Amino acid sequence: AIERTISIIKPDAVAKNVIGEIYSRFEKAGLTVVASKMKQLSQADAEGFYAVHKERPFFNDLVSFMTSGPVMIQVLEGENAVLKNRELMGATNPSEADAGTIRADFAQSIDENAVHGSDSLENANIETEYFFAKEELCPRLR
Ligand code: CMP
């Protein structure tokens, strides 16, 4: 089925100037960018986005990393988009990510791991509403 998912290019990858290379991977895999914004997340933005991880030991480091520089946030649309994006990203820990994945190629560590992607369709919808108003989504014309 055609799905939508959230992708975030994190501050490490934005700083490396690889937004275009990452977008190219989405497009080559058949995913279309239907909304995007660059944003400097506030502490409240990052804490709210990652609220499910509030009790985890890495939460404070995660919030401080995600607010350390601008991120690029996009909604990707396409067949099986949630899983497809997760396959393109590779494992959360780049040292475990398959060769040729975004994290294997661009990430340093489990903390600075280049990209975020929604882990389910349900969370994709929640995360999309967190960052985008309905009018900001531009469905693909074919
Ligand atoms: P992300 O998909 O953005 O969701 C939460 C982030 O927390 C995750 O990517 C990692 O960058 C970071 N993180 C740090 N340590 C861990 C861990 N032990 N397990 C999961 N995520 C972690």
Return d(Cα 103, Cα 136) in angstroms, integer: 28
Identify the residue whose tokens are 């994190």. Answer: 10
Between the CA of 61 and the centroid of ligand 1 the distance, in Å, is 10
Please report, in tens digits, the pLDDT of each residue of the chain (142 residues total): 999 999 999 999 999 999 999 999 999 999 999 999 999 999 999 999 999 999 999 999 999 999 999 999 999 999 999 999 999 999 999 999 999 999 999 999 999 999 999 999 999 999 999 999 999 999 889 8
Find the helix or strand (DSSP H, E) in which 49 lies: helix 43-49
The CA-atom distances, in angstroms, between 6 and each of 34, 55, 60, 122, 136 are 10, 23, 22, 11, 13
123 CB under 6 A from ligand 1?
Answer: no
Between the CA of 139 and the centroid of ligand 1 the distance, in Å, is 30
116 is catalytic: yes
What DSSP line would sit under 80-130, residue for residue? THHHHHHHHH--SSGGGSPTTSHHHHH--SSSS-SEEE-SSHHHHHHHHHH
8 CA: nearest ligand 1 atom? 3
Return d(Cα 3, Cα 95) in angstroms, integer: 29
Residue 80 annotated as lining a ligand binding site: no
